[in-house]
Structure 1
């Protein structure tokens, strides 16, 4: 496990992309794309890589300035948390998309799997090297997990979803090993569909996750999620999140070191953390359903509640989810409150 100070702070994954980089109005009124969505970018292809690097540097510096302990790259190069890696694998039909039902019950275009899923070359290793080169603090990168990618694809090749998930897991495993080789301290798998498809998860999710992390030799995390709180579906608003997880205790049997849970917005009963006795908890203390900024005292109170069920040595402090759909201004203020709230509790238990 990564050595760190007590109650370290980190981001979950995404950070607000600048308006000059991506069309945030379009982004904010749709679910994260499962297939490539190049038209979201405001910068033309010849200059896009350089622009994404500039935005990544901004995200790194913002985190450093507010005092975040474990730095992420903010996922500035991604149209969504999953589609960059999911569409870069072989076995994906390049001529047409598939269709799958999303967690809101709507049909969406998704990768169509028409051959064996394989990772032919590193996909995010250059992102890892860039992040490692530009901060002296511990760093964390995220990847979509094999169960979620399976749920977000149409199977036109494999005999069943489990078989497809195992090949996704092998592809993720190769990518995770490359990220650690590039100097990343923590690699996190994003698996929101453990919650959205809890019944299917019972059959093969733990097997796929363990296979994705087999022999990786670094600190690993996994984020389960109720969905982005600030995405606006047309003229409507996001529905209320559940109050409890449907797939959580099962993760104690996984090889993952750290489990990231949302707690602030859903007002999660922290007693549920007792279901993960062998894991470190990355605990969500920032409600991302609103731009309203918590006070450090509110954050400290949420941390104290978690400490009733988890020792301080097993608790990390984070927002509920990614901050992609928030403004940079509100994100900075919320993260500063999180850092200050963690410092309050750290002083109390020192």
Structure 2
């Protein structure tokens, strides 16, 4: 990318009300069959247009064709039974009814490749595609087959690598793995989580990213944040190993969080997606608020490696709020570009 401070989103954007119930995670589809396929494509086009109108440099599908950032990929794998459900604790934070791993996990066909190819046909901009990371996938299931988190993660990593290679061949420029679990299970991250992540990215020539946040702006996550004290230092436990990893871009939650900015020093040399938009609030940032976050980040990240982004996905927000936040992100980045060019 030649653009200085290229803007992007962390992943999801709100779905239009004719596709799924708005402002809700895991919202059921309002169409079925061919009508649903067409509605998803229409929503993808609309999402692309809204990103482009806001000025987003690195565009995505806005996750319009999937119900959830983790489970939609898992639905297409062999070995997981979505009818057989168990209640598990997700990221030590909240209980959810989840599908069960009942046999050997494998990917029998592409999941997002056709959607990625369709998106590539619609734009000449840099495209980023998000996939769930192996550890976060493990944490979103009940495993009655492997009964071993690490073994299951390695199988998921192999399936993800197959998908990622085909996404790259379809024209995706950046493949992002979403690993919010990296902010919770620190020993596992360093023991095998980063190794599994590197396996998922193995052999890719396009850029790779890992998105690590404190979760969507839902009550379970915002309540958890209240227990984390005045300084959120979770990144400190994993950034040193990520700095030494093969992943190109590291994302972190920044704006209106209590993450000490200096923790970015731990990934010095990597490209950093700095979350400059709060997704847990309907309050739309001003461009100057965004610029202030980016200015602070520039103390620890070289300008050529700073990627302004959102803290997390925006699926639970109203579309008007998300539009305002995207515009603020781009306007704030432009303020900093002007300041840098004036030096």
What TM-score does the superposition give when structure 1 sets the normalisation length? 0.91
Q: Deviations over 1:102-154 (max 9, x none)?
A: 13543322221121111111110011111111111111110001111112222
User: How many angstroms does 1:17 deviate by?
Assistant: 0.5
Contact 1:265 1:320 in 2 (8 A): no
Q: Pairwise mapping of residues 1-350 of structure 1 onto structure 2 (< 5 A)? A: 3-24=1-22, 27=24, 32-33=25-26, 40-93=28-81, 95-103=83-91, 105-158=93-146, 160-229=148-217, 231-232=218-219, 238-240=223-225, 242=228, 243-245=232-234, 246-350=237-341
Deviation of 1:159 after TM superposition, in Å, equals 5.3
- Structure 1 residue 237, shift from structure 2 partner: 6.6
Matched residue of 1:93: which SS?
A: strand
How far has the Cα of 1:210 moved from its partner? 0.9
For structure 1, the 5+ residue unaligned runs are: none
Mapped to 1, the partners of 2:136 and 2:258 lie a distance apart of 25
Separation in 2, partners of 1:348, 1:95: 55
Contact preservation (8 Å) 1:209, 1:254:
no
1:265–1:288 Cα contact (<8 Å) kept = no
Secondary structure of 2:324's counterpart equals helix
CA contact (8 A) 1:196 1:226 kept: no
Superposed CA deviations along residues 227-259 of structure 1, whole A, max 9, x for unmatched, are 112x246xx974435423253332112211001
How many aligned residue pairs are there?
335
Q: Quick one: structure 1 residues 296 and 172, their matched pair in 2 at CA, closer, same or farther if it must change by over 3 Å?
A: same
In 2, Cα distance between equivalents of 1:237 and 1:181: 38
1:167-191 superposed Cα distances (whole Å, 9 cap, x missing partner): 1000000000010000011110001
For the structure 1 residues 332 and 8, does the alpha-carbon distance in structure 2 shift closer, same or farther, using more than 3 Å as the test?
Answer: same
Distance 1:112 1:306, change over 3 A: same
Deviations along 1:198-238, whole A, 9 cap, x unmatched?
Answer: 23323210110011111111101110010112x246xx974
Structure 2 CA distance for aligned equivalents of residues 16 and 252 of structure 1? 32
Query: Which string of whole-angstrom CA distances, capped at 9 and with x for unpartnered residues, describes residues 58-113 of structure 1?
Result: 10001111111010110011111111101211111354124421135433222211
Secondary structure of residue in 1 paired with 2:84: coil
SS in 2 for 1:107: strand
Counterpart-to-counterpart distance in 2, 1:227 and 1:58: 25
CA distance in 1, matches of 2:310, 2:325: 9
Unpaired stretches in structure 2, ≥5 consecutive residues: none
Inter-CA distance 6–81: structure 2 relative to 1 (3 Å threshold): same
TM-superposed deviation, 1:4: 2.8
Distance in 2, Cα, partners of 1:164 & 1:66: 40
Sort the Cα spacing of 1:41 and 1:159 in 2 relative to 1 into closer, same or farther, 3 A: closer
Partners of 2:223 and 2:63 in 1: how far apart?
Answer: 23
TM-score calculated relative to the size of structure 2:
0.93
